[in-house]
């Protein structure tokens, strides 16, 4: 992994409708993310938080099923610029969310620097909805589709190019809640996905071996997009859209440790930490622990 990390906070809650996830970056800083990574001898530059405008909430833009479209687009355009600059400086962008809609901006900033960016989508959901297929109108359920160039042009066009990624370079891990339109897209595009069923059958160790092998063959960089709701709500209760039957704390650490060993991850984001819904900052602490493992922390 690159030894220089730039930390970017995105206090964004406009991509969904439960308040509090905008405090995710503060919660993860409070849980010691800077100290944790510095202890591993990384040079860490905390760039602070992106400015997010505060509109009236719950507004769907005319004729769309997209909540807070303009504000979400504006915030992601800013994020994309910051991330682009970080990659240009040859530093590792570590983005703290915020709801998962921020992956639109992160990927827009990262992907232009790669021919074939791989993406690991660690999540209970696939976030492959569009305005047409979304049951909620929440943009945090759409960033993976947007990054494939599918969705509203105000989102797909961020960064001035599209698509950001190709379906064959994506691996979804931990899925257990998919909407009909998402299932259709996964089948049509042949997106690689390890649902909880496959993870239970194969074990996380095999799942990660296969994932790493698959991405190493065909990509020149890998972005890890880790939604804390990929973990079981018993371990990570501080999320807005919890789904039972998720990945354990231990499976998740194993996944991060195997990624550290393989040394393939070139950018990462940790999203959906909602301190209002959390128990004593447990979910933020787990997120920071997972970052520790991703960046090479070992017991001995
Ligand atoms: N990043 C997330 N937590 N996404 C949850 C999405 C839930 C649901 N599929 C929707 O589109 O509304
Ligand atoms: Mn999710
Ligand atoms: Mn998600």
Annotated catalytic residue within 61, 84, 99, 272: 272
Helix or strand (DSSP H, E) at 34:
helix 33-38
Cα separation, 200 vs 259, in Å, equals 19
CATH number at residue 53: 3.40.800.10
- Report whether residue 100 contacts ligand 1, using a CB cutoff of 6 Å: yes
The reported pTM is 0.98
Is the shortest distance between the CB of 180 and ligand 1 below 6 Å?
no
Query: What integer pLDDT is reported at residue 57 of this predicted model?
Result: 57
The question of whether 200 is a catalytic residue gets the answer no
Q: What is the pLDDT along the chain (300 residues), one digit of tens a residue?
A: 878 999 999 999 999 999 999 999 999 999 999 999 999 999 999 999 999 988 765 677 768 899 999 999 999 999 999 999 999 999 999 999 999 999 999 999 999 999 999 999 999 999 999 999 999 999 999 999 999 999 999 999 999 999 999 999 999 999 999 999 999 999 999 999 999 999 999 999 999 999 999 999 999 999 999 999 999 999 999 999 999 999 999 999 999 999 999 999 999 999 999 999 999 999 999 999 999 999 999 989
Q: What is the largest CA-CA distance in the chain?
A: 57
How many residues are listed for the chain in this entry? 300
The pLDDT, as a whole number, for residue 2 is 77
67 assigned to some structural domain = yes
* Residue 300, domain member (yes or no): no
In a domain, 268, yes or no: yes
Does residue 209 lie in a domain region? yes
Assess contact for 95 and 83: CB atoms under 8 A.
Answer: yes
The dihedral region occupied by 159, where left means phi > 0, alpha psi between -120 and 50, and beta the remainder, is: left
Cβ(229) to ligand 1 under 6 A? yes
* 299 within some domain: no
198 burial class (0-12, 13-18, 19+ CB within 10 angstroms)? middle
Other beta carbons within 10 Å of 135: 11
**Which atom of ligand 1 lies at the shortest distance from residue 138's CA?**
12
Whether 127 is a known active-site residue: answer: yes
Q: Choose among 282, 290, 276: nearest CA to 16.
A: 276
- For residue 62, give its domain range: 4-294
Q: Is 136 in the pocket of ligand 1 (CB under 6 A)?
A: yes
Pick from 12, 16, 58, 66 the residue to mutate for probing ligand 1's pocket: most ligand atoms within 8 Å of its CB. Answer: 16
Torsion of CA 195, 242, 109, 36, to 10 degrees: -100
Q: Is residue 263 part of a domain?
A: yes
Give the count of domains, the chain: 1
Task: Look at residue 290 in the predicted model and tell me its pLDDT.
Answer: 98
Query: Residue 292 has what pLDDT?
Result: 98
Ligand 1 atom closest to Cα of residue 229: 3
Question: Closest residue (by CA) to atom 3 of ligand 1?
Answer: 241
β-strand pairing of 170-175 with 117-122: parallel
ipTM for the whole complex? 0.96
127 in a known ligand binding site: yes
Residue 278's SS3 state is coil
Tell me whether residue 164 is exposed, middle or buried, using C-beta atoms within 10 angstroms of its C-beta: 0 to 12, 13 to 18, 19 or more. Answer: buried
Classify residue 17: in a domain, yes or no: yes
* pLDDT for residue 286: 98
In a domain, 30, yes or no: yes
Expressed in angstroms and rounded, the spacing between residue 229 Cα and the centre of ligand 3 is 7
């Amino acid at each position: 992994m690159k030894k220089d990390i730039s930390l970017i906070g995105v206090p964004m809650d406009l991509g969904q409708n439960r308040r509090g996830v905008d405090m995710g970056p503060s919660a993860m800083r409070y849980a010691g993310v800077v100290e944790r990574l510095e202890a591993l001898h990384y040079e860490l530059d905390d760039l602070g938080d992106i400015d997010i405008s505060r509109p009236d909430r719950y507004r769907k833009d005319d004729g769309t099923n997209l909540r807070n479209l303009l504000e979400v687009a504006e915030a992601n355009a800013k994020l994309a610029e910051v991330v682009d600059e970080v990659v240009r400086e040859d530093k590792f962008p570590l983005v703290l969310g915020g709801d998962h809609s921020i992956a639109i901006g992160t990927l827009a900033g990262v992907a232009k620097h790669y021919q074939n960016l791989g993406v690991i989508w660690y999540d209970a959901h696939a976030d492959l909805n569009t305005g047409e297929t979304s049951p909620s109108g929440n943009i945090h359920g759409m960033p993976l589709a947007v990054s494939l160039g599918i969705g509203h042009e105000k989102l797909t066009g961020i960064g001035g190019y599209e698509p950001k990624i190709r379906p064959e370079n994506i691996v979804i891990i931990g899925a257990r809640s998919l909407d009909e339109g998402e299932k259709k897209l996964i089948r049509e595009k042949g997106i690689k996905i390890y649902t909880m069923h496959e993870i239970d059958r194969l074990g996380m160790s095999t799942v990660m071996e296969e994932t790493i092998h698959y991405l190493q063959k065909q990509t020149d960089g890998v972005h890890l997009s880790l939604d804390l709701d990929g973990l079981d709500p018993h371990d990570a209760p501080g999320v807005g859209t919890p789904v039972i039957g998720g990945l354990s704390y231990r499976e998740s650490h194993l996944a991060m440790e195997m990624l550290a060993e393989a040394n393939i991850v070139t950018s990462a984001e940790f999203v959906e930490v909602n301190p209002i819904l959390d128990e004593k900052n447990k979910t933020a602490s787990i997120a920071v622990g997972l970052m520790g493992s991703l960046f090479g922390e070992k017991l001995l």
